[in-house]
């Protein structure tokens, strides 16, 4: 698959600057890593307590395209339904662990 991507990329290169498969794959992996970091930083900022100016995180035009290709769980993480930091509509969803009549 990467050989095909390399061939198509090199055919479309306007400056006739050829890239190797390894270089293109590393670029793709780095873009995914950067997008995960950017998404995590946005999430941290949203959950913050405020007290300062909003972060100026610029969106890259390729972010939406990359998000459509990537697995959502690797970008946004998994939802935790027990004691995590996810936003829940009901704060009382946790079981009563002090009740001795809890069935397991």
Which residue matches tokens 């405020």? 50
32 domain-assigned: yes
At residue 3 the predicted structure's pLDDT band, cuts being 50, 70 and 90, is very high
What pLDDT sits at residue 18?
92
In a domain, 8, yes or no: yes
- On whether the CB atoms of residues 67 and 75 are closer than 8 A, the answer is yes
Examine residue 40 and state whether it is found in any structural domain, yes or no. yes
Quote the Cα angle for 75-37-51, to 5°: 115
Q: What is the pLDDT of residue 93?
A: 53
Range(s) of the domain holding residue 71: 2-49+57-76
Q: How many domains does the chain contain in total?
A: 1
* Residue 14, domain member (yes or no): yes
Q: Rg of the chain over CA atoms, in angstroms?
A: 22
Give this prediction's pTM: 0.60
Name the pLDDT band for 54 (thresholds 50, 70, 90): low
């Amino acid at each position: 698959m990467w050989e095909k991507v390399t061939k198509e990329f090199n055919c479309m290169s306007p400056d006739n600057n050829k890239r190797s498969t390894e270089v293109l794959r590393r670029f793709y992996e780095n873009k995914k890593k950067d997008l995960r970091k950017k998404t995590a930083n946005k999430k941290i900022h949203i959950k913050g307590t405020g007290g300062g100016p909003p972060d100026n995180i610029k969106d890259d035009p390729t972010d939406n395209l990359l998000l459509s290709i990537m697995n959502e769980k690797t970008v946004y993480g998994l939802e935790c339904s027990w004691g995590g930091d996810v936003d829940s509509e009901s704060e009382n969803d946790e079981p009563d662990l002090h009740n001795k009549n809890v069935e397991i």
